Amino acid sequence: MEVMRTLHAVIIAVLVTAIIVGGILYYFLSTAPKPKANLLEIYHWWTSGGEKAAIDALVAVFQEKYPDVGVIQSPVAGGAGYVLKAVMKSMVAAGEAPDSFQIHAGYEMKPYIDGGYLEPIDHLWAQQGWEEVFPAVVKDMVKWGGHYYAVPLNIHRANVLWYNKKILEQHNIDPASLETWDGFFEACEKLRREGITYPIAMGGIGKWEIAHALEQILISQGVDFYQDLINGKLSDPNDPRLVNAFNIFKRYMDYVNPDYATLTWDQAVAKVIRGESVFTIMGDWANGEFLVANKTFNVDYGAIPVPGTKGVYVLVVDCFQKPKGARHPENSEKWLIVVGSKEGQDAFNPIKGSIPARLDADINKYGPYQRSAIQDFKNAQYMAPSIVHGSGAPEKFASAFNDVASAFASNRNVQEACNGIINAIQAAKNEYVKEWKLIP
């Protein structure tokens, strides 16, 4: 009996001790700081077929170099970043910046610079020798107050008219006849007579797709005119070049698919690929869509500068940067090094449609469209930063510009649109901090 009692007491004591020790252990293990996960989180808006294939190729280069880092891509759909731009502003303001995010060189960076949200990365520029390999025009766009705040991944050309080559051939239209607006509209009229009522494809779901076409039309009125526009120096709503641009846009809209406001940019390109439409004005990310659809340049499709813009290279430059307070600052820098590397750029750009921002790219990796773009860039008479894609003008103006373009696409009121542009310049007048000199 006595033995049994002692045994019970021992068992109970052991159990109680186990519970207490277990509890203490559980407490320490669950509250002990966990080892930090080795991650890289990046945000971008590359979700179309060509865009996704390109960013995946860049991430693959990163993963090969840093297999131990887990990459979280957080894509936010919406061409030209029209959704991501708003999302990112609130994330950054709330102290939730990711390790890096896609941004355009130029004015789009300004609110982040003003807010002190980005780290200067001069040390990376020096260490990687980037000063020597990037063109001056691009370097200037990522420098603020004498410091580098981003690294450019590519240079897209915005002023490109894409066409379905087979359809042009079937209708006996020579692409060389499209170099002037009159020639272009003649071709549109001929196609309409021969059964293609809406030969131009355009998107418009994010407004910027419309503004993109308008921007190129404005540039066709002269680089000096465009320079005044982006420097905020236009003040006359009756300026004949402004009025003329909207008159051209009015003619243009007459041949555009009536459902443009519901389409994304890549859905518009897809109409050209399928042969439902013949033309679309879009940046050369469109080339990525032709490529994923297995189309061959100069066989199935072709491209020329937008009428009246030969010799001008309208620049759209995608960059990444290192936000302050990034959770994985070391991985952020590793990412930037890959973005700025020859290997990274030569993996991404052949798929994306852009040319590399670096001047020492391996040309053998690029297809025929980009080879000709690389030549055009070298020989360009003028470089002009895009408004719509964040570089050329203050954000306040760029966003009003989208509104003017999209209102015009539906009401086609030239006077109202000209007034709208001049008012938008006035309203943003305190935000012009840069004087572009596009004329050498």
Interface with ligand GAL includes 167 (CB under 6 A)? no
* Residue 338 Cα distances to 56, 229, 329, 363, angstroms: 13, 36, 14, 19
Q: Do 80 and 206 meet the contact criterion of CB atoms below 8 Å apart?
A: yes
Interface with ligand GAL includes 51 (CB under 6 A)? yes
Q: How far is the CB of 287 from ligand GAL (least distance, A)?
A: 11
Contacts of 99 (CB under 8 A, 6+ apart): 39, 40, 41, 42, 322, 323, 326, 327, 328, 329, 331, 332, 335
**Beta pairing, strands 318-320 & 151-152:** antiparallel
| From candidates 228, 289, 318, 333, binder to ligand GAL by CB under 6 A | 318
Contacts of 45 (CB under 8 A, 6+ apart): 51, 75, 76, 77, 78, 79, 80, 81, 83, 84, 102
Binding characters for ligand GAL, 260-299, by CB under 6 A (x = yes): -----x-------------------x--------------
Interface with ligand GAL includes 316 (CB under 6 A)? yes
In the complex with ligand GAL, the residue whose CB is nearer, 51 or 228, is: 51
Q: How far is the CB of 103 from ligand GAL (least distance, A)?
A: 10
Return the structure tokens found at 56: 């995946």
Q: Do 263 and 48 meet the contact criterion of CB atoms below 8 Å apart?
A: no
Q: Do 386 and 314 meet the contact criterion of CB atoms below 8 Å apart?
A: yes
Interface with ligand GAL includes 320 (CB under 6 A)? no
Contacts of 33 (CB under 8 A, 6+ apart): none
In the complex with ligand GAL, the residue whose CB is nearer, 181 or 397, is: 397
| From candidates 40, 43, 62, 79, binder to ligand GAL by CB under 6 A | 79
Concatenated DSSP letters for 364-417? GGS-HHHHHHHHHHHH-SEEEE-TTTTSSS-HHHHHHHHHHHHHHHHH--HHHH
Size of the site for ligand GAL (CB under 6 A): 12
Q: How far is the CB of 206 from ligand GAL (least distance, A)?
A: 9
Interface with ligand GAL includes 82 (CB under 6 A)? no
* Residue 260 Cα distances to 38, 201, 210, 271, 287, angstroms: 44, 8, 9, 11, 20
Q: How far is the CB of 432 from ligand GAL (least distance, A)?
A: 21
Residue ranges in 225-264 that form contacts with ligand GAL under rule CB under 6 A:
none
Interface with ligand GAL includes 385 (CB under 6 A)? no
- From the number of C-beta atoms within 10 Å of its C-beta (0-12, 13-18, 19+), residue 1 rates as exposed
Q: How far is the CB of 438 from ligand GAL (least distance, A)?
A: 20
What's the CA gap between 166 and 176, in Å, rounded? 15
| From candidates 59, 80, 121, 292, binder to ligand GAL by CB under 6 A | 80
Q: Which stretch binds ligand GAL (CB under 6 A): 43-51, 176-184, 199-207, 271-279?
A: 43-51
Interface with ligand GAL includes 389 (CB under 6 A)? yes
In the complex with ligand GAL, the residue whose CB is nearer, 162 or 285, is: 285
Binding characters for ligand GAL, 141-160, by CB under 6 A (x = yes): ---------------x----
In the complex with ligand GAL, the residue whose CB is nearer, 41 or 108, is: 108
| From candidates 41, 42, 43, 45, binder to ligand GAL by CB under 6 A | 45
Concatenated DSSP letters for 191-253? HHHTT-S--B----TTSHHHHHHHHHHHHTT-HHHHHHHHTT----TT-HHHHHHHHHHHHHH
In the complex with ligand GAL, the residue whose CB is nearer, 239 or 318, is: 318
In the complex with ligand GAL, the residue whose CB is nearer, 155 or 196, is: 155
Residues of the shown chain interacting with ligand GAL in the complex, contacts defined by CB under 6 A: 45-46, 51, 79-81, 156, 265, 285, 316, 318, 389
